[in-house]
Structure 1
C-alpha cells in the first residue's frame, strides 16, 4: 500500500501523524484551518439549494458534436460549469444555477494507492454494456464484474482497486488473457467497512505505525468514525509510545455521537417521533462531552415540551367543552374525540390559534372551542369564532368525504344539494379543508381486496394486479387503459393526518416494480424489533423472521415510494405511448386517494427505460411534479421536442460516461437543459456504463428536500408544446382533441411527415382575463383558481380569438369537488371552469 498525502510526506514521523489525525478530527467541527500550501477544491453554491464540491472548469457545450463548431469560432462563450469530484462530473448552467462565486476549500482526501496487475496494453473501453452483477471485493481489493457483452452474452471483467480516497475508489481492469483498459470509479461509501478492513489488513504492515495511522485517517475522512476509533484504539494498545494520540479517540467518539444526534433530528423531522425518542433515550451520554450532552438534553426537552403542549391542549379543550350547553356538547362529541385521539406533533400546528387563546379566561368558552375546532378542520389562521359555522363545517367535511368516494353520479348530485344548504359550504372553507383531510379512500386499506399489505415487509402494500396479471390484462386488450397496479412503501410511524413527500418510481424494462422499492427504500432486512428474539438479537437458529423492514433513504427521510407497473410483457424499452402514461398516472392518482401524499412534493424518477419514461411523463405533464430524476435513460422522440415544457420541471439526470457515448448521442438534448431558465443537474459517473448508481441516492434525496423543489403556483404565462393526443392538460388549460395532422403516433414515429410540437400559449392578464393566443385545438376547458391569480369577486373573462366567455363565481363547490375526485389533488383544487366554445 502506498499513500499519497497531498502537501505532506507519506513517510511522516509519528509526531506529524499525530498532527494530521488531530486536524482531520477537528476539521469536522471547524476548529482548525489547513495550511495554505494544501491544494484546494471549490465549493459551488447553487440556486436550488445544493452545494457542489470539486474542481470546476468552464465548457461551451455538452454536445460532443458541437466541439468542431467551437473550434471554428461558432461557439464563443463557456456557459456550462463542470464540477469534477473524482467520482463523477456534474454539469450545471452558470447563469441559471450558480448562486455565488466558487469558494476554495481544502482538499482533505487521503489518496491510498494499491499495486494491482494492470495491463500495459489492451483495448481502451469506450462503452460498457449493462452491469449484470458484481462480487464483493476480496482481501486483495479485487472483484469480478459481469457485464453484457457486444453479442448479448455475459462478459466477465476482473477488477482491482488501484487508488482509494474517502470519496471514491479507482477500480481498473486487471491483466487477463483478453486484457482491456478500463478506469472505473465507484463511491467509497458503497464498499462495506468489513471489506475495507480486510483490504487494509492485507496491504498494511501491522508493525508500521505510520501505515496504520493512514488507515485511521482514511476512516475519519470517510466519516466512518467508529472504524477510525477502533483502529486507533488498537494502535494505542500495540504502540504504547503513541499515548499522546488518546485525545483523538475522544474526538472520534464525539463525531459518532454527532452522527447519532443528526439521525435523531432527521427521524423527528420525518415524523418518526417514537424512533427519534428511542435514539435519544439510548444515547451514550456518559461517554460524550458536556456540549453534546446539552444538545441531547435540548432536543429531548423540545420533544417533551411539544408533548406537554399536546396534553395541555387536550385538557383545556375537554374543560371548555364541559362548560358548553348539552346540545353543543353532543354535536361536538365526535370531533373532539377525533382531536383527542389524533393530536400529534404533526397536527398540533393546526391549533396555533387555540394554543394562544385557549387559556384566556376573558374569552368565552364557546369562542375558544370554535377556534380549536375550526383550526383542526381548516388549519392555523382560520380565525373562525362562530360556533354555528363551526358545527356546519363538521357536517361539510363529512359530506365532502362522501362525495369524493361516491361512484354514482346521481348520489353525488344529491350530496351537492345537501351541501348547498349549509352555511360552511363556502369554496374558501372547502379549499382549506381538503388538504387537511385524511386520504378520502383511507378506509379501503382495510376493506379493498385489491389493496393487500405485504405479509412480511412492514409498511409495504401491493395494489391491483401483480406483474403477471398486469401483463396478461394488456395482452388481452392492448387498447384498454391499464388498471392501477403498483407497490408502495410507507415510512415508519406513518400517520394519515400528516402529508409525506413521494417518489413515483418507474422500474427498468424487464424488471419487476419491487426493484424500485429496493433502490429507494432499501432491501428488506430482518427487523431489529423481533418480539421472539432477545435484546441481543439471538433466537432459535431455525426461526424464520416474522417481520422484515427497509432501512434505506426513503425510510430515513420520510418519503412514500409508489412503484407503478407500466410495461407490457417482454417490452424491451419505453415506447412513448399514452398507454404507458395512463398506467403511471392512474396508479399515481389511486395512491393519492389512498395514502397521505403531499401533492406539492411529488417527484417522478426511474432507471433505464423507466428513467426515460419518467423524463417523458414529467415534461408531458409538468403540472404534476416537483422534480424528475432520470437514471441511465436514453432520451428520444418527444424528448427532442419538448424543451418548452422542460423549463417548468427541475431535473436530475444521472448516467455513466461509458453508457454508449452519452455526449455524442445525447449531448444536443442535454445542451437544451443547460440554459438560464432550467433547474437542471446532469451527472456523469467516470468509467461507468448502464448502472443503477445507488451511491447517488444520498445526493438525490438532498436535492429533493431543498426548499426550492416544491411544486410552484400555476404559471401566469403558459408556453408549452404538445405532440400526442394525451398531452392535452397543462395546469389550467385543457382540450379534448387536437386539430387534424398535429398529433403523432409514437409507434409510427419514423413515418411521420412532420416532427414538430404544436405550440400552446396562454396567459392570465392583469384585467382579470385569461387569453388563449395559440393552441392545437378549437375547443378548450379553462380551469380557474385564485392562485392564477384571479379575483373571484369580480367577473372573469376568457378569450380565444373572437370568442369570449364570462365567468361569475357563485361560491358553489361542485366544480371543486369533482375536480378533486377526478385528479385526486387536494392541495390545488380548481374552483371553476369555462368551456370554449
Structure 2
C-alpha cells in the first residue's frame, strides 16, 4: 500500500485529468472541494491539500502588501509539505475526508514572550512522555545546547501535534507511525479522554474502549486493537456482541493488510516468502473482494510454482540422457544451479521441445534427443529464447565463451586478462560478437558468495588489499544468484555505526526484496564528517562494484540514500555520478558546495529529499536547488516536516520504498543536456577530474581553470560542461564541451539492444564546429567492452566503442 496515501473504503472519488499540469492544479487550488490525491506520472501517489507558495508584493496604487500565489506547488498533509512539480503530475482525485479518532490535551500553554525558535541542528535527548503528555527535549542549535519542555496537544492515528511548553513559541508535527506501540499505549492510558477508570459509568468505559479500538485499527496496530477488544470483554456481559463485532472488523482489516504484504512479496519476486504467507492467509475473515483477490494471486502463484517444477524436472530429465563425458553436462548442471523463475522465458523453446520429447519417450531417458534439448536449454539460457539453438557445437562454443568472459571479469592480473582476451577473439572467429553482448545481461556474479547473508554481515578488506572498500551487506530472504536484485545503498550519519544505521532499514529492505548495502564512507574516522573528496566517492562506488562481483545486482535499480552528513554525501555523489543510480534520497542533509554547481546533473535522475523546516541553512539550500529543478521540470519530490530539525524521520522509510518501487534508471540515448542553452541550459557539469562520466560522455582531462576541491572550494570557479545529441537519420553525434582538455564519446547500447549509434553504418562525430569523424566505418571493440564491464560491472549498459579527442 502506498504510504503517502491511505485510501479509505467508502470514499467518494472524483478524478480530474491534469491537462498541462498547472491548469488543473489551478482548478484544484480555487475549488472548495478538497483535492486529496495527486497521481504522479510514474505511478506514485501523494495525499493532502494542494497549495502554492505565496509572495508579498506592494500594490503600485495603494502601496499595500498583496500576497500572490507564486513559486513551488505542495501537498500539505498536516504533518508535511510535499513539494512536487505539476509537470510530473497526471491525475488529481478528490476524496471525502475520513473521520479519524482524535485525542487532545486540555492544557493551556502560555508563553509571555515571543522568543523565536532557533534552528535544530542535532537532537541531544528526548525523554519519555509522562502522564501529563509532557517530555523533556534537548537540542543543539546556533546558540548552543537548548533544553525545553514539550507538550503533545493532539494525537490521531496518522499524526501528532507537539508544542513547546516553555522558552519558545514553537510547534512541530509527527507521523504517528514514528511512535512505538508502548509509547502510544502510555499516552492513551494517561489521557482523560481515553483512560479507563473503574469509577466511570459503564457506558463511558465502553465508549472509551471502542474509541481506543478504532484508534489502533486506523493506525494499523492490529495486536493492540485485539488487546483492547479482549479488555472490552471484561466490562460486562453486554459488551460481548460489541467485542465480537470489533474482532471481526479487526480480522477483516488485518486480512486486507496481509494481502498487501503478500502483493509486496510477489512484486519483489520473493516467491518463497509469498508462498508461505499465502498458506497462512485468513481467507475466512477477509471481505469478499479481498478473498477473491487472494484466490487470484494464489492461483497465479500455484501456476508459477507448477511451471518452475516442470522446468526443473525437464532439465533433470534432459541431463539424465547425456553421457558422462558430454561437453554440455557441465553447462546444464550450472544452468540448474542458476535457475530462477524469472528466467523461464529464456527457456520457452526448450520447454516446448522437451515436453514433446518426454511425451514421445514415455518413461525412458531422452538418449536420442538429449543433446539437442540440452543445447536448446543452454543457448536459450545464455543469449535469450530467440537465440536458442539445437546445435551442440554452438552450445559448447557459447559455454566456452561465457566461461572466458567470467574469468576475464574476475581477473586482477592484466597479463592473464590479455591472454583471456586472445582466447575470446579466437572463439569470436566462429561466433558472432552479438552473442557476447546478449550473454552479458544474463551472467551470474563472477565471484559469487556461496552463502549470501540474509542477516547483516560486515565485510573487511583482505590483508592483500588494504585499500579495498569496507561495507556491510544484507540480502533479502529469497535472494538467489539467478536473478538481478535492486540495491539500496544507505550512507550512515557521521559517527554512526554501520550496524546502527542498518537497523533503520533492515526489515523494510527484506520485506521489499532489496539488497541492503552500507559502505563505510567516513574515511577520516568517526565524527570526521563529509569532506567532498574523491576518496569518499571511491569508498561508495567501489563498495557497489564489489557487491556486483559477489551478488547479482540490477544496475538499473541501484538507489542511494544518505542521512545527515551521509545525506550531504548522497547529494554530492549522486550529482557527480548520476548514471550509477535510479534515484537519490537525502534525509536531513543539504546540497552544499559542488551540489550547488552540479544541480543540472539531476536531469535524468530523480531525487526524494526529506528535511525539517527548522533545519537551518540546509533547508534554505534545498529550497534553492529544488527551485532550480522545478524550473526545468526535473522529476523530484521535496518533503518538509513542519517544525522539525536535523533528525531521523522513521515514518519516511515505507514512503521511500513506495517511491523506489516504480523507479528504474533512466539512460538517455538521444540527448544529454541542452546544447547551447546558456545560463538556462542543462549541460552536465564537473569540477573534479573524478566526476567525469555522464552516461555516454566523459571528460578524461579538465582544464585547471575548471577544477575545484572540497578542501578549498571556490564558488567562483566555472565548472566544465558537457552536452550532446544524436541524429539517428545521419548516424551522427553532435557534442559541445567547455573546460575539458580531453573528451571521450562512449558508443554504447542498453540491455534491450538499443544503441547510441549504429556501428553497422558509417559514424560521424562533430564537436562544436570541428569534425572528429566523418562517415567513418568502425567495428565494436572487444577490449573496450570487456574493460568497461570489468571496471563498472554494469550489465545493463555495454560500451561497444569509444572515441577520444582533444577539443
**Fold conserved between structures, TM > 0.5:** yes
Cα gap change, 1:28 to 1:129, in 2 (>3 Å):
closer
1:796 aligned partner: 763
1:396 aligned partner: 401
Cα gap change, 1:683 to 1:351, in 2 (>3 Å):
same
2:309 aligned partner: 311
CA RMSD, 1 decimal? 3.4
Cα gap change, 1:263 to 1:395, in 2 (>3 Å):
same
Map Cα deviations across residues 75-120 of structure 1 (whole Å, 9 max, x no partner): 97735321111111111122x2221245233243333212346343
Cα gap change, 1:733 to 1:67, in 2 (>3 Å):
farther
When structure 1 is superposed on structure 2, of 166-175 and 113-122 the one drifting more is 113-122
Cα gap change, 1:664 to 1:777, in 2 (>3 Å):
closer
2:519 to 564, 581, 587: 564
The question of whether the paired residues in 1 share the 8 Å contact of 2:707 and 2:717 is answered with: no
1:818 to 777, 787, 794: 787
2:744 aligned partner: 781
Map Cα deviations across residues 411-466 of structure 1 (whole Å, 9 max, x no partner): 212112211222575332222222222211225x78xxxxxx98xx8242323289
Q: Which structure 1 residue ranges, 5 or more long, are not aligned?
A: 1-26, 447-452, 474-481, 522-551
Map Cα deviations across residues 736-793 of structure 1 (whole Å, 9 max, x no partner): 211231212332224x7x3322222222222112222223224222211243432121
1:235 aligned partner: 232
1:128 aligned partner: 120
When structure 1 is superposed on structure 2, of 617-626 and 309-318 the one drifting more is 309-318
2:478 aligned partner: 493
Cα gap change, 1:348 to 1:143, in 2 (>3 Å):
farther
Cα gap change, 1:254 to 1:743, in 2 (>3 Å):
same
- SS of 1:741 mapped into structure 2: helix
Map Cα deviations across residues 9-34 of structure 1 (whole Å, 9 max, x no partner): xxxxxxxxxxxxxxxxxx97735659
Q: Within 5 Å, give how 1:340-359 maps onto structure 2.
A: 340-359=336-355
The question of whether the paired residues in 1 share the 8 Å contact of 2:726 and 2:756 is answered with: yes
Q: Tell me the distance in 1 between the aligned counterparts of 2:555 and 2:179.
A: 36
1:46 aligned partner: 40
The question of whether the paired residues in 1 share the 8 Å contact of 2:8 and 2:98 is answered with: no
Q: Tell me the distance in 1 between the aligned counterparts of 2:800 and 2:247.
A: 62
The question of whether the paired residues in 1 share the 8 Å contact of 2:705 and 2:717 is answered with: no
Q: Tell me the distance in 1 between the aligned counterparts of 2:190 and 2:69.
A: 51
Q: Tell me the distance in 2 between the aligned counterparts of 1:72 and 1:770.
A: 55
- SS of 1:91 mapped into structure 2: strand
The question of whether the paired residues in 1 share the 8 Å contact of 2:163 and 2:170 is answered with: yes
TM-score norm. by structure 2 comes to 0.84
CA-CA distance at 1:170 after TM superposition = 0.8
Cα gap change, 1:75 to 1:673, in 2 (>3 Å):
farther
Cα gap change, 1:143 to 1:495, in 2 (>3 Å):
farther
2:102 aligned partner: 111
The question of whether the paired residues in 2 share the 8 Å contact of 1:126 and 1:661 is answered with: no
2:73 aligned partner: 81
The answer as to 2:163 corresponding to 1:164 is: no
The question of whether the paired residues in 2 share the 8 Å contact of 1:34 and 1:106 is answered with: no
1:526 aligned partner: none
The answer as to 2:783 corresponding to 1:827 is: no
When structure 1 is superposed on structure 2, of 315-324 and 771-780 the one drifting more is 315-324
1:410 to 415, 420, 426: 415
The question of whether the paired residues in 1 share the 8 Å contact of 2:699 and 2:743 is answered with: yes
Cα gap change, 1:41 to 1:804, in 2 (>3 Å):
closer
Q: Tell me the distance in 1 between the aligned counterparts of 2:471 and 2:59.
A: 47
2:679 aligned partner: none
The answer as to 2:176 corresponding to 1:188 is: yes
Map Cα deviations across residues 541-574 of structure 1 (whole Å, 9 max, x no partner): xxxxxxxxxxx21111111122222221366543
Cα gap change, 1:129 to 1:441, in 2 (>3 Å):
same
- SS of 1:441 mapped into structure 2: coil
Cα gap change, 1:68 to 1:644, in 2 (>3 Å):
farther
The answer as to 2:446 corresponding to 1:440 is: yes
Cα gap change, 1:409 to 1:191, in 2 (>3 Å):
same
CA-CA distance at 1:139 after TM superposition = 4.5
2:488 to 498, 503, 507: 503
Q: Tell me the distance in 2 between the aligned counterparts of 1:725 and 1:626.
A: 23
The answer as to 2:676 corresponding to 1:720 is: no
The question of whether the paired residues in 2 share the 8 Å contact of 1:509 and 1:610 is answered with: yes
- SS of 1:49 mapped into structure 2: coil
* Count of matched residue pairs: 744
Map Cα deviations across residues 662-689 of structure 1 (whole Å, 9 max, x no partner): 5545432221122353001111101111
CA-CA distance at 1:341 after TM superposition = 3.5
- SS of 2:804 mapped into structure 1: strand
Q: Tell me the distance in 1 between the aligned counterparts of 2:125 and 2:698.
A: 46
Q: Within 5 Å, give how 1:316-395 maps onto structure 2.
A: 316-321=314-319, 326=323, 330-361=326-357, 367-395=372-400
Cα gap change, 1:126 to 1:278, in 2 (>3 Å):
same
Map Cα deviations across residues 152-174 of structure 1 (whole Å, 9 max, x no partner): 44x44332321011211111223
Q: Within 5 Å, give how 1:416-431 maps onto structure 2.
A: 416-422=421-427, 425-431=431-437
Cα gap change, 1:290 to 1:663, in 2 (>3 Å):
closer
CA-CA distance at 1:48 after TM superposition = 2.8
The question of whether the paired residues in 1 share the 8 Å contact of 2:319 and 2:374 is answered with: yes
- SS of 1:310 mapped into structure 2: helix
Q: Tell me the distance in 2 between the aligned counterparts of 1:465 and 1:370.
A: 40
CA-CA distance at 1:499 after TM superposition = 1.3
1:770 aligned partner: 733
Q: Tell me the distance in 1 between the aligned counterparts of 2:795 and 2:431.
A: 16
The question of whether the paired residues in 2 share the 8 Å contact of 1:93 and 1:676 is answered with: no
Q: Tell me the distance in 1 between the aligned counterparts of 2:670 and 2:546.
A: 26
CA-CA distance at 1:503 after TM superposition = 1.7
Q: Which structure 2 residue ranges, 5 or more long, are not aligned?
A: 1-5, 15-31, 197-201, 361-367, 674-682
**Structure of greater relative contact order (alpha carbons < 8 Å, 6+ residues apart):** 1
The question of whether the paired residues in 1 share the 8 Å contact of 2:686 and 2:721 is answered with: yes
Cα gap change, 1:120 to 1:744, in 2 (>3 Å):
closer
Q: Tell me the distance in 2 between the aligned counterparts of 1:712 and 1:610.
A: 25
Cα gap change, 1:73 to 1:824, in 2 (>3 Å):
farther
Map Cα deviations across residues 585-631 of structure 1 (whole Å, 9 max, x no partner): 22222222222221000111201121111111111111111111111
Cα gap change, 1:692 to 1:380, in 2 (>3 Å):
farther
- SS of 1:99 mapped into structure 2: strand
- SS of 1:180 mapped into structure 2: coil
Q: Within 5 Å, give how 1:360-759 maps onto structure 2.
A: 360-361=356-357, 367-422=372-427, 425-442=431-448, 458-464=455-461, 483-521=468-506, 552-567=507-522, 568-569=524-525, 572-660=528-616, 664=620, 666-706=622-662, 708-718=663-673, 719-750=683-714, 754-759=716-721
2:214 aligned partner: 217
2:9 aligned partner: 30
The question of whether the paired residues in 2 share the 8 Å contact of 1:628 and 1:650 is answered with: yes
- SS of 1:250 mapped into structure 2: helix
The question of whether the paired residues in 1 share the 8 Å contact of 2:759 and 2:780 is answered with: no
CA-CA distance at 1:344 after TM superposition = 3.2
Q: Tell me the distance in 1 between the aligned counterparts of 2:702 and 2:739.
A: 5
Map Cα deviations across residues 521-554 of structure 1 (whole Å, 9 max, x no partner): 2xxxxxxxxxxxxxxxxxxxxxxxxxxxxxx211
- SS of 1:44 mapped into structure 2: strand
The question of whether the paired residues in 2 share the 8 Å contact of 1:658 and 1:687 is answered with: yes
CA-CA distance at 1:253 after TM superposition = 0.5
